[in-house]
Every structure is written in structure tokens, then in C-alpha cells.
Structure 1
Amino acid sequence: MPGGGVIDLLVVGGGPAGLATAVHAALAGLETVVLEQRPAPVDKACGEGLMPSAVRPLRELGVELRGRPFHGIRYVEADGARCAEARFTAGPGLGVRRTELQAALAARAAELGVRTVRGRAVAEVEQDAAGVRLGGLSARHAVAADGLHSPLRRALGLHRPQRGGPAARYGLRRHYAVPPWSDLVEVHWARHAEAYVTPVADGVVGVAVLSGERAPFDRQLARFPRLAERLPEAAAVSAVRGAGPLRQRAAARVAGRVLLVGDAAGYVDALTGEGVAMAVASAEALVRCVVAGRPEAYEQAWRRVSRDYRLLTESLLWARRRPLLADRIVPAAAALPALFRAGVNLLA
């Protein structure tokens, strides 16, 4: 153990949510250990665009971020006929490869004395009034930051399967060695899918496609003919990564001495690009509750922190699922630029 002390917080999951929690905990003086089954660097299919609401708190934590700045969001119809854009008023966002974000967070955690134990799968938990035991280690409290399909969420009986309701959505991501053509993140809208184009380096863009229809990346990209023209197959520089179903429900964020953060705590959709910002904000709230000796207060804190994200994402998804409304999302954003700017900057 760092310093030889008792573990105060045992974090299961070494992605952005888990590492942000570990950094907050270390800064608060908690003895913290991270368990991560996968080798570094940890990658994941995501849009890789950090909104200003994620960039600011990460830098305040001392995380050294390197990437390509972007200055707003542009909605584009699949055929390129109409578009709408909103620029940030609170500073730029940052396009950052997921592996680089994870590495930067891991470096900051290590700098603060957080130890990471790799190659240890955790799917069971034991706890009593004195502490919690998992992965062969004991701690005063534990955090489940083990992702969208969190085994710990299931082990704790907190997973709530989706029955009926909206169709499942899935994400695919690939990188292309083409110069970014905009200083904005572009969201291209087709009838049944969106494509998110994020500048992540001077000569690289990341393209993430979200859809309710499971199909190979090339077939999904073909839904966006104007975008596909810019992305020749020969320019692809990464393999396709996938994730889903995206919507995940949790009955609660607290089970005794175990608290859930990030995607493990429940997830609506990637449509608004707020996953990392939400993870960092909820990590701060979680650590504050643990330090105060009131872990049970985290449930209400999580609901408060995530309220705007859940409301806006659910509202946009509601419109997205209705073909007549979905076809009018970009025209409406173009016709109501002040409202579009307000929505984008509320998230930013």
C-alpha cells in the first residue's frame, strides 16, 4: 500500500470515471487503490470530444490534457443541405484520443500516490458494517467504475434490464488520417443514425456513429454520403470499436459501502457528448460524500449533478425516435439559432 495505510477507497475500473474518482480521493487525503482488469492504455468506443464542462475540471485536477481544441457544435443534415452551429461561450472543448485521456488521468493518479493493480477481474463483493472486500483486497469503501455493463452493478442487485420502451442504440468508432476541416464537432443526422466527427489531432479525425440498427461501420457511414466522401477507406488508421446497448439502468447509486460512478451508475445515451463531464462531476460528488462520512447522500448528489444531462438527453432522444420530428431536428436548430446556442452552452 502507498504509505502502508489501510485502503480508504478501492476503485474498480481504470477508465476516466474510476481514475477521476481516484484523483479526487487522493487530493482529499484518502488512501486509494484502483483495480483494472485490462492492460494500459484502456480504450473504448466513444466520440472523444471533451466538452468545456469536462476540460475545466480535469485541468483543475492537475490532469495534463493534450489534444485538438474545438469551439462549438455543428448539426448537419446527411445530404449536407442544411446545417446549424453554436459556438461555446465558456471556452473551447478538446478532442482527445481515449487512450491519451486515460493515460493522462493515470499519470496524475500515480503522481498523487494512487496504486493501480492490473489483471484482476472483480465480479463479487462482500461487505459489512466495517468495510468491503473485493478482488482480494479490503477497504473502508469501494467504487464500481467498471463500465457500461458493470459486473459489480449486477452483483449488487442494482442492474435494471430494459424491458420494452425505446429500442437499444449502439455506437461504432473509427479514426481517419485526414486534416480536420472544421474547428467544431460536427453531428451529421440521418433518419436512423448520427455521425459525430471530432478533430483529435492536426491530421486525424475520429468518427463515431450512433444508431438503433446494428450494421457494420461502412454500411452505417454510407447513410451520410457527403461525410463519406471526405473519409476514404485508405485513410482509416484504426480498427472499428463498438459499444452498446448504450442505455443502462441502475436501481440506485449506493449499496451499503459500494458506490457507483460513470457508466456503471446508469447511462442514457452518448447523443449529447457529456459522458466524461458527467463522470468527473459525479466523481467529485462521490468523494465529497465519502469524506463527510455520508456515502448514502451520494444518491441525491448524483441525481442533482446529472439532472440537466438526463433531461436534455432524454428530450433529444424522444424526438430522435419519432421519424417526423427526427427529420426536423437540424431545420429546427437552424431556424431557432438562439435556442440551439442556449442548449449547447447549457451542456458546455
Structure 2
Amino acid sequence: MLEKGHEVWAFCLKNTPFYNYCAEYNIPVVCINKHRKYYDFKAAKQLRNQLNNLNIEHLILRDVRDMSVSVAAKFWGKSSFKVHYFMEMQLGVSKRNLLHTIRFRQLDTWSCPLEWLKTQVLEKTRMPKNKVIVIPSGINRAPFTNNLSQETARTLLSLPQDKIIIGLAGRFDPQKGQLLLLEALQQATNKEIVVLFLGAPTVNEGDDYAQAMEQFSASHFMSERVVVRPFRKDIEVFYKAIDAFVMASKAETVGMVTIEALASGTTVIGSNAGGTIELLHNGQLGYLFESLNAPSLAQAIDAFVSNPKKWSNKTLSESTLRFDHEHVIALVEERLKV
């Protein structure tokens, strides 16, 4: 938005990763204090004053924990700015009660990154239909559509050139499904497949899960077929190096890594839950397996191995054009009329 000439301010806590990111890219920052999730009217008044002092016309929030303080700033202060919620996580239980309805109706926009989330919002809330829209989550597709060859990518990651390699990226955590993939790999027909994990244990949460991954590999004589590499900024190298990407989470709301894999022209094997179904066009652009089911994942891996070029790299990559950040920015500008 800054590159498009808009005046942008980031409201965030000091010394957080996002704060540091803004400093790195010269994005103006307004430091705020941590507030209560509900009914923090003191924080709402402070936010209202900060927005008014900067003549801000649109407040965009991503975290539901910021919703109460944001709509309170708008309502109690009778301010002229508009509040737009760009949802990140799916809804759990129904939120059609009076308190939720009052809060939600102060929003000027409820933006959903996928159609299935828009349907969920309309079913589980009383948000006016005209305020619920779909604006995809945006990525810069350029790094993922470069001409880096698989051979070069594998050389950079010190990977074998002559193996089928299936990859999974994410912190080592039960929610990400690394053990599920190892179980499926052990059950898959092809015993030469290599799995590449890009990630590390969650900071300050111990390495019990990472140890469980190692123990499973060792006990099933798979250690030589399991490769671990740390996170890297040029994650496109990871996608170019692998033959297929696995989204093994129980139900990923959107799955930005799935979008990145597709943009790279890499086949995706994903669980049939959450946003993965829509991203893979209900199995028309990738392999779906039953969520949390290792035998089902093993069958999907076998199906991929039997037909690894079912979709061309170009077809997969072009399926992500709607997520290109230039297109997404245009949609945001249209909604905000800026």
C-alpha cells in the first residue's frame, strides 16, 4: 500500500517481530500497549485519539482480539474512521447472540480470504450480507515463479538428485502433521521416497515432538530417507527442490504455504478439511486425503507417484493468480475507495 502511494501506519506492540519488520522496511509505526480482549474502554479511547490525531480514515485489523477495542473506539468516540476486519482464522461456534451481533455490526467490512469462510460467516453470525466480502490473502508471486531449476535447488539444500522428494514446511508441532507424514511414508508402496522437513521446534516449547519424529524414523529404519533443513528466507528454493508438497494440518484455515507451493508449480497433497479443499478445487488441482488419516495419506502419495505430472507446472502456478498481491491491493483499494 505504501508503494501505491497510500499513507500507512502500523499499530503494534514494541519490540515484536512485526515491529522489527516495520523498522526494516521503513513502515511508520504507532506503538500501543497490550489491551484486554473485551471492554477495555481506556485502550479504546487511546486508540481513538491516536487515529484522530493522524487523520486515519480506515482501520484494518487481522486479529479478533483487536475487534472489541477497535469497534469501541469507533462507537464511543463517534469517530469518522471505518473499521475493516480481515479474518485470519475460521469461526468455531456460532456467534449469533446479541453481544456478538452488536460488536460485529460496528464493522464496515468483514473480509474473508476464501469463499468457504464467507459462507461460514454468513451462517454463524448475523453480519449483513453486503458487508461480508472475499479478498484473498496476498503473496508476491515473483519469487515462486522464477526459473530456478530443481537440480540447482537440490544442490543448494544438499539433497539427492535422483530421488522422489516430498516436502512439508512448518514448525515441528502435532498440529502441522510431521509424524502423520512419517507414518504415511512408512505405509506407502514406494520405499525410496525421501521426505524433506523445513522447520524447527516451536521456540520455548521444548523438542519432545522433534525427538518423537527422530525416534519414529529410527524405529522404522527410515532415518536415511528423512532430511531436515532449517527455515530460510528464500523458501522458494524449498518448493523448487521437492516433487510434491504435503499439507498435513488437521484443517488449515487458508494455508499460505499451499498457495506458495502451487505458485511454484509444485503438486500439493492436502487434507480434505479447511481451506485446502477450495485451494485444490476439490481435488481438481491436487490430491486430497482424509484429515489425520495416515493410510489415506499413503494412498494419496501412491497416487502421486503413479502420475507425478498430472498437472503441469504452469496450470498449478496460474491457479494462484488471484492471490497475487497486486490484484489483492486493487481489491482493497476498491473496497476502501482510496
TM-score, length of structure 1 as denominator length: 0.35
Larger strand proportion of the pair: 1
- Which structure: greater helix fraction? 2
- Larger RCO (CA within 8 A; separation ≥ 6): 1
